[in-house]
Amino acid sequence: MRLWSVHPQHYDRQALTACWREGLLAQAIIADPTRRGYAHHPQLQRFRETRDPLAAIGDYLAAVVDEADARGYRFAREKILKTGPVERIPVPRGQLEYEWGHLLRKLEVRTPDLWERWRTLPLPAPHPLFTVVDGPIADWERVG
């Protein structure tokens, strides 16, 4: 599961659709904590730490749908169970840098034109739910 901290404007088609699917899975897990499978996935930690985890994942998904709409894709916004208002979630700069490198490697192989567009950008915009703070890669990240 990859719930990017990077703004959806930077995703290629594959990342956008995967993020939508995985975000819906995360929403289902947050809505029903007894679900099996990814119930203890570390990327869900930052949503669960908010005052309203279901609204937080809903706001996350809403930004993904907004980007899909801007590109002319049809994602089913009605699948979002709940939205905010919610507090913005801090994302350490090191985490955003780590994810940016990970995404750029994927873009270089899958979508070279996007890789060419973004490869010199030192740090991408964060997903609208997140605010960048100083710090290393997040504790929950599985660095490979």
At 143, the pLDDT band (50, 70, 90 cuts) reads confident
Q: Residues 69-81: what's their mean pLDDT? A: 97
Question: Residue 126 carries which DSSP code?
Answer: B
Alpha carbons 15 and 21: distance in angstroms, whole number: 10
Q: Give the residue carrying structure tokens 């869900």.
A: 44
Question: Residue 119 carries which DSSP code?
Answer: T
More confident residue, 144 or 90: 90
pLDDT digits (tens, 9 = 90+) for 82-109: 998 889 999 999 999 999 999 999 999 9
Q: Residues 49-72: what's their mean pLDDT? A: 97
Structure tokens at 124: 């991408």
Measured from the Cβ of residue 125, the count of other Cβ atoms closer than 10 Å reads 14
- Mean model confidence pLDDT for the chain: 93
